[in-house]
Amino acid sequence: MEILHSKILGEGQPFIILHGFLGMSDNWKTLGTQYSENGYQVHLIDQRNHGKSFHSEAFNYDILSDDVINYMDHHNIDSAYVMGHSMGGKTAMQLATSHPERVTKLIVADIAPKYYPPHHDFIFDGLSHLDFDQISDRREADEALSKHIKERGIRQFLLKNLYWEEKEKLGFRFNFDVLKERMEEIGENISSNAVYDGATLFLRGDRSEYIQPADAPEIKRHFPNAEIETIDKAGHWLHAENPKQFYEKSFSFLNS
C-alpha cells in the first residue's frame, strides 16, 4: 500500500491540509507554518497524482478519502482537524462523512457539496501545448502557456508543478494524462445521504462563484453544524488572495 507524501510541520494536535486540483502541499506552506507555530502539528499532504505522491489510474473521492485514512493509520493519527480547498475540500467532506470519528473539526475552502460541470478544459488545452523537448526553463514555459492562459496567477500556480524530470528536461509533477481523463470525477459530489455532525466551517471568497447563497440548505443538510463565512477581496484561491483574514477565521474556528 502506497502512502501519500507530506511535509509535517510543528508539534501539537494533528491538522491535515489538502490542496486543490493541480495543486500540491507547497501551496499551503506559508499558512501551514503559521498554524504549526500555534499549537498544531500540520500535515501538508500531496494527494495522489499530485506533487510528490504516487501516480495511479484510480481516481475518485472515495479513493482520495481512503488515501487520507491510510496516511493517518500510517502516522498513528486517531483523529485530526481536516481542511481542504476545492478538490481537497471534496476529499475532506468525503472523509468526514465516511469516517466521522477520524475528523475532530472540518474546514472546507470555497467548494460546496454539489456537482460542478467540468471547467478545466482551457487549462489542459494550454498545458498540452507545452513541448518540453523545446522548453528549457520556467520563463519559456510561462511564455508558451501565456498564449493559451492569459491570467498570470493561474499560470504561476500551474508552473509551480514544474521540476527536472531528468538532466535538462522539465516535466510536471502532476499526472497529466490521468487527471485530464478524469476531469469529470473532479466535479463529482459526495454521496447524497452523507452527513457529518461535527463542527464545520465553510469559507467562501466574496469574488468566487463556487459557493452561492442558494447552496446553504444543501450544505446544512450534509453538515448540520456548519457555519459559512466569507473572505473579503478573494476569489477561488482565497487562502492566497487574503491569507491574513483566511488565517484569522480558520484559526479562530479551530480554537473555538
Whether residue 177 lies in the annotated active site: yes
Q: Which residue reads 481542504 in cell numbers?
A: 84
Cα–Cα distance, 201 to 249 (Å, whole number): 9
Active-site residue among 25, 36, 53, 86?
86
Residues 109 and 234 in one domain: yes
pLDDT for res 167: 85
Is 195 found in the same domain as 99? yes
Cβ(254)–Cβ(14) below 8 Å:
no
Domain of residue 200 covers: 6-115+188-255
Residues 109-129 have pLDDT tens digits of: 999 999 999 888 889 999 999
- Identify whether residues 177 and 58 lie together within a single domain: no
Question: Domain check: are 106 and 148 in the same one?
Answer: no
Asked whether residue 192 falls in the same domain as residue 147, the answer is no
> Known catalytic residue: 137?
no
Q: 157 and 96: one domain?
A: no
Residue 1 lies in a domain: no
> In terms of domains, do 92 and 204 share one?
yes
Task: Check: pTM over 0.85? Answer yes or no.
Answer: yes
Counted domains in the chain = 2
The answer to whether residues 116 and 90 touch, using CB atoms and an 8 Å cutoff, is no
pLDDT tens digit sequence for 84-98 = 999 999 999 999 999
pLDDT in tens, 142-175: 999 999 999 888 899 999 999 998 888 999 999 9
Q: pLDDT tens, 203-214? A: 999 999 999 999
Cell of 25: 502541499
Residue 24 has what pLDDT? 97
- Closest to 63 in 3D by CA, of 9, 71, 84: 71
32 and 105 both lie in a single domain: yes
Task: Report the alpha-carbon angle 81-213-236, nearest 5.
Answer: 60
- Active-site residue, selected from the candidate residues 67, 236, 239, 250: 236
- Give the number of other Cβ atoms within 10 Å of residue 114's Cβ: 18
Catalytic residue status for 86: yes
Taking the mean position of all CA atoms in its chain, how far away is CA 146? 24
The whole-number pLDDT of residue 166 equals: 87
- Cα atoms found within 13 Å of the Cα of residue 89, Cβ hemisphere only: 23
In a domain, residue 102? The reply is yes
Cell 487527471, located at residue: 179
- If asked whether residues 230 and 162 sit together in one domain, one would say no
Q: 234 and 159 in one domain?
A: no
- Per DSSP (E only), the strands in the chain are 6-9, 13-18, 40-45, 80-85, 103-109, 162-166, 169-172, 200-205, 226-231
How far apart are alpha carbons 97 and 43 in whole angstroms?
Answer: 20
**Element (H or E) spanning 159, and its range?**
helix 152-159
Query: Which of 125, 131, 137, 177 does the annotation list as catalytic?
Result: 177
pLDDT at residue number 43: 98
pLDDT (average), residues 33-52: 98
Do 93 and 132 lie in a common domain? no
User: Does one domain contain both 101 and 206?
Assistant: yes
